[in-house]
């Protein structure tokens, strides 16, 4: 994986720019990585509903679950699909809208200083090996390019918004990810 630092873009990812982002308060303070999971509809994989959500193009009448997403404006920097395909929605230099109300190590507003990485998945099913390998590759590259990032600055959405969020969930293998990073 390679990053064009001047653009904040991953050269190896498909690019689908989301309108759901804004300026970081301090663009030099990229100091954390938040891992999420998402599937739309819940528990179903494949298709382009996740991309449509991040692009504000989701047909909210296409599935009963989507009605609650009608006015939602969210994004992530990266999405890693089940087969390892990676899509970038927001340049790393910009603030993606992925964490919501959050607190990590005494700092609120985690969107301000983190990179959000979504894995296509859900809380109650294992993730694919291809996803772990692509995630490890992305983390290694990000840590190389952003000096405040390191392998200790990675956490799950569930850890920064406990009681509100549960992802990446109990099936996410933190130990396996650490092995791949070593």
What is the Cα gyration radius of the chain? 15
Query: C-alpha distances in angstroms, 21 versus 49, 67, 109?
Result: 19, 23, 14
Do the strands 94-96 and 21-23 form a parallel or antiparallel pair, or are they unpaired? antiparallel
3-state secondary structure of 52: helix
Judge whether 173 counts as a catalytic residue.
Answer: no
* E strand intervals along 62-140: 78-80, 86-88, 94-96, 103-104, 107-108, 114-120
Q: Which of 23, 44, 118, 128 is catalytic?
A: 118
Do the strands 78-80 and 114-120 form a parallel or antiparallel pair, or are they unpaired? parallel
Alpha carbon distance 63, 93 (integer Å): 34
Residues with a catalytic annotation lie at 118
């Amino acid at each position: 994986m390679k990053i064009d630092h001047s653009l904040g873009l991953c050269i190896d990812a498909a690019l689908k720019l989301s309108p759901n982002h804004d300026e970081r308060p301090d663009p030099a303070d990229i100091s954390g990585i938040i891992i999420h999971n998402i599937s739309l509809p819940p528990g179903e994989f494949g298709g382009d509903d996740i991309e449509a959500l991040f692009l504000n193009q989701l047909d909210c009448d296409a599935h009963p679950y989507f009605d609650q997403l009608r006015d939602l404006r969210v994004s992530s920097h990266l999405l890693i699909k089940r087969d390892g395909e990676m899509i970038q929605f927001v340049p790393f230099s910009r603030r993606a809208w992925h964490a919501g109300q959050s607190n990590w190590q005494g700092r609120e507003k985690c969107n301000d200083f983190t990179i959000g990485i979504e894995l296509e998945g859900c809380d109650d099913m294992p993730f694919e090996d291809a996803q772990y390998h692509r995630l490890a590759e992305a983390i290694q590259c990000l840590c190389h390019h952003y000096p405040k990032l390191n392998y200790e600055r990675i956490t799950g959405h569930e850890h920064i918004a406990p009681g509100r969020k549960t992802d990446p969930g109990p099936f996410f293998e933190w130990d396996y990810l650490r092995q791949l990073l070593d």
